[in-house]
Structure 1
């Protein structure tokens, strides 16, 4: 498979969309475990088994579809099941599910459990689900965000549950494992070792220029690579779309509302900072003893010494706290009424006497209302617009229930219809213009939910309202379709010619490289070979270091040289397009410098991570040895609708 596909869990999907707000909860320090494939059938309802634990077909199908949605959203790739299967998406998705199954078996072995109530409590702590004004967990916001991302509550909380269980499993295996300092020293020598090489680079000038291809050759070339020369499908659409930004220009926010929102934020502590106090309190059994303690506090003696001398318990000291942090309410109230340095004797709420001294005051930080005014205005605008949006969408849904057409609904609610004249799956017009929108107003090309609806519905069908990626609502009708088809020969002739010549040159360079490599390995000097070739052949000396690979040598050749012995000759693609390189390793120079400081700490941490990873892999292998992995490839293809012969 040419492309490496990375699977995404439910939590991973939400992380991408929410700009990392779930990372602390859902991304855990766990190295991805490899899994050996065993191809045999085990259960009709399972695509794989880890011992007695099944990876159900239904679970795999849902995860696979979600992965395609994520790829379409992030990369603009709309793949069919056949295309995704050919690229190995199914393998990445299945590996992720198998890993979860292994972790479940692992946790069972260790006796680790997580109460699902705890998982729900952790969900309530996630910032993205908090109300912007109250700062409290918002059930409605939670439901809305999951709905926008097509995730059920049960699925999300199950994913949180699994990750919490994983968070407890991993420390049980690798807790306390640290690499010796000698490991860091060895790693330092390994990373900073120098390797010197003579490198012969062949460019396109080293091979004859290919002739102009005839028409039959070009047509055959185009036919073999039809995907590169095929026009995408285009669709024209009529749409009812209502977003909060459509309503905000007509909304006026009054000064009283702005001031009220500001005061509420201050009261909650969302902005600014409350006044804080530092104090010491000595607890006494009676008023007279408390007065003695107060008199001694006035002499600036150590409160601990005072308490000890009076036969009292250790005094309570509060440093820079708010009123709620002080346990006794009476002490708290008094402390925030006293001036700095004041001393007071008082009776606490539980019948105890206190000698209290205020030792410091940190004034409250009052936020600047004028500076926050525009931000508050935008928040209230969004809030009012959302309320207005729900009112209008209710009227639209009523019209749909009555069987009204888009045009009739548009006239009834006073919302203009939008017409889009032929766009492709990426939201581009036939002229190559991408409908990206402006500023904070997202265009169709930036909303994959809209694009998905446009390209999955039949011509003439008026959809129900659905929620867009920005929290608005839309309904669409596909008016016409221009099918995907091979572009006319004359239109792609120039592009095909350039591509054919490039491939011809690349093939010739590959053959030339193999020929030159054989001669170099037989003992012919690289300079002599370069002189024999002439134009397009250059020899230079290169120094390679593992910690800082050279930009002069191609990646594959770099890896080969870092593993080679002195005198070895290796080859590979060059660092630049349409180049090939042949290299001879001429020397290996060890670094004998000492290792210390921050770099030593970093390398030791890296060595510790590597050891922990090895331990995890060994532990996983032990789990799989007792609970064999069996994959049901026939079931996988059946679930995805893939021809068993493919």
Structure 2
């Protein structure tokens, strides 16, 4: 998902409409004091500016379409709302308006010529052959992104105004040369070392300590041997899945359901479409091109002569519902390989060609019978569950014991012992086990819940019968566990002590590391020339080795632990970075960006107090109620 978002951020629309500066303000916060517009029907008011429901809808749909380009055509509005895209769209619009309001307050204006020059200068709208602005590419790009020409122009104008403000704040930011050089030197220093691991098997033979030592270890490490609080409960569940086996389905119901769902079992015809697009009003050129095609001219060559490259000609595969409505009839009237007469739309004049046709198909009732039957049973069970749940709730409310109320409505009952927080329901495969577990630990001993519902629709009621408090397990019950834990700790202590002794030999007497390793039945490995980040380490070298190398003096060794292994590491080489030849530009850019972000953050804090921002959540929820409810 993040890769898809980064891809979009590099698109022409993110660069031209929002720009790097506008995107950096998407994090504008909307606090509780800003969420009040009374009876206004606007989405938001920012100073003298407004965000209308139409403006939000168009911006949100563009965002959804951009996500479809990343995740495929099945990405829908509900998914967009759930992943926070609606909220991001609102905040992005607010951010743009805030900066534009500030620019307006300052009296900053952008001329039509400046807007035109900015658009004309964009490489994304230039003909790749001539290098000149192409109106056809411009209009095609706007159509693909869902913008009207006026929306795009005003968006560019607004961002140019914002850039005037931001540029005046950040344009003078400078990075101290000495600071940049020190960071380059620190990051680019490289070190090489060698190391070996102690043979753990040599430390396995550890005699068991006496009971006094073990009991003290048991007390000192009580958390390892403490039993968590547990609860015994009575649980009753009622779900549609439990009722499905009792549901019957008639042939008439199957036939009627198939009729109602017939569209689900139809695969629409698809066509791969190409086009030659001429500017609005240029019907004559379109007609001339059409005559050339009738005379046998090559479609792609004709398109190139009209100033289009292959990527603009090949539109892709469409169903009748997917393609631009004004082009649908002409496209789906063509035979495979055929091309159309010029067709006019708001974008200009199109000549269409269908290069391949994938016929539609319909699954018969017999092919989908099982799916139909399962669907009817599920529907009937879910329909019945509402009445049963109401009866269940009524009986529980009247004081009927869980067991009796469950029997009357056909609910399942469970006696569960030893339930531990966060560990489900004692191994029982029950829908919503984690949710029910959480509810159990909200109750007091002897308390009974209301009739609750899991996220997937299972109704349940639970009563806590007994609570066993968290307590240290008696030493006698966990003696073997204590012995194992004590031996493991002693083993690590012995290994570390041995490794420190060997490292000290290297450091004080200059003993060669290979000789020390050989004495201990180990072989030396090389770390590779590495930076502090571990870049350059050998494939099987633990990153802790790199960290150790950058704490040592040249030729010195130390002991380190990496999980259960204990290593002796020696620093063999230090390769200082040459700050005169190293590329400091990335560091300069990074530091400058950090300084600018800090300046802009402080300026945003100032604008937060100076410019009134109110967001009307009731309007937003009203526009997207079905999705927002999910």
TM-score of the two chains, using structure 1 as the length reference? 0.54
Aligned partners of 1:540, 1:226: CA distance in 2, in Å? 39
Q: Which residue of 1 aligns with 2:557?
A: 569
Aligned partners of 1:121, 1:395: CA distance in 2, in Å? 47
**Does the Cα contact within 8 Å between 1:196 and 1:543 map onto a contact in 2?**
yes
Aligned partners of 2:403, 2:223: CA distance in 1, in Å? 39
Q: Which residue of 2 aligns with 1:180?
A: none
Q: Does 1:413 align with 2:409?
A: yes
Deviation at 1:492, TM superposition (A): 1.0
Aligned partners of 2:219, 2:200: CA distance in 1, in Å? 29
Let me know the Cα RMSD of the aligned residues.
6.2
Q: Which residue of 2 aligns with 1:265?
A: 264
Q: Does 1:618 align with 2:617?
A: no
**Does the Cα contact within 8 Å between 1:572 and 1:581 map onto a contact in 2?**
yes
- Among 457, 478, 482, the residue aligned to 2:464: 478
Which structure 2 segments of 5+ residues have no match? 10-28, 33-45, 69-73, 100-161, 171-183, 304-311, 577-582, 606-630
For the structure 1 residues 622 and 572, does the alpha-carbon distance in structure 2 shift closer, same or farther, using more than 3 Å as the test? farther
Deviation at 1:335, TM superposition (A): 5.3
**Does the Cα contact within 8 Å between 1:328 and 1:348 map onto a contact in 2?**
no
Aligned partners of 1:377, 1:620: CA distance in 2, in Å? 59
Q: Which residue of 1 aligns with 2:359?
A: 364
Q: Which residue of 2 aligns with 1:435?
A: 427
Q: Which residue of 2 aligns with 1:249?
A: 245
For the structure 1 residues 334 and 589, does the alpha-carbon distance in structure 2 shift closer, same or farther, using more than 3 Å as the test? closer
Q: Does 1:510 align with 2:496?
A: yes
The residue correspondences of 1:254-333 to structure 2 (distance < 5 A) are: 254-256=253-255, 259-260=258-259, 262-265=261-264, 273-275=269-271, 298-301=294-297, 321-323=318-320, 332-333=328-329
For the structure 1 residues 613 and 358, does the alpha-carbon distance in structure 2 shift closer, same or farther, using more than 3 Å as the test? closer
Aligned partners of 1:273, 1:521: CA distance in 2, in Å? 78
Q: Which residue of 2 aligns with 1:38?
A: none
The residue correspondences of 1:333-412 to structure 2 (distance < 5 A) are: 333=329, 336-340=332-336, 360=355, 362-366=357-361, 368=363, 381-412=377-408
Aligned partners of 1:405, 1:248: CA distance in 2, in Å? 26
- 1:448-484 per-residue CA deviation (whole Å, 9 max, x = no partner) reads 2110111220233221122214332212111122222
Q: Which residue of 2 aligns with 1:490?
A: 476
Deviation at 1:521, TM superposition (A): 1.6
The residue correspondences of 1:139-178 to structure 2 (distance < 5 A) are: none
Aligned partners of 1:485, 1:197: CA distance in 2, in Å? 47
Which structure 1 segments of 5+ residues have no match? 1-19, 30-52, 57-107, 129-133, 147-154, 176-186, 308-315, 591-603, 629-646
Q: Which residue of 2 aligns with 1:560?
A: 548
For the structure 1 residues 621 and 540, does the alpha-carbon distance in structure 2 shift closer, same or farther, using more than 3 Å as the test? same
- Among 412, 415, 439, the residue aligned to 1:453: 439
Q: Does 1:226 align with 2:222?
A: yes
- 1:105-130 per-residue CA deviation (whole Å, 9 max, x = no partner) reads xxx9xx999889849974995999xx
Q: Which residue of 2 aligns with 1:197?
A: 194
Deviation at 1:26, TM superposition (A): 12
**Does the Cα contact within 8 Å between 2:549 and 2:571 map onto a contact in 1?**
yes
Deviation at 1:391, TM superposition (A): 3.4
TM-score of the two chains, using structure 2 as the length reference? 0.55
**Does the Cα contact within 8 Å between 2:275 and 2:350 map onto a contact in 1?**
no
**Does the Cα contact within 8 Å between 2:196 and 2:567 map onto a contact in 1?**
yes
- Among 446, 451, 458, the residue aligned to 1:465: 451
- Among 209, 215, 223, the residue aligned to 2:211: 215
For the structure 1 residues 569 and 165, does the alpha-carbon distance in structure 2 shift closer, same or farther, using more than 3 Å as the test? farther
**Does the Cα contact within 8 Å between 1:240 and 1:410 map onto a contact in 2?**
yes
- Among 493, 509, 516, the residue aligned to 1:530: 516
Identify which range, 384-393 or 488-497, moves more after superposition.
384-393
- 1:558-599 per-residue CA deviation (whole Å, 9 max, x = no partner) reads 3222675652323311x461x432222335799xxxxxxxxx
- Among 475, 478, 485, the residue aligned to 1:499: 485
Identify which range, 454-463 or 561-570, moves more after superposition.
561-570
Aligned partners of 1:355, 1:498: CA distance in 2, in Å? 79
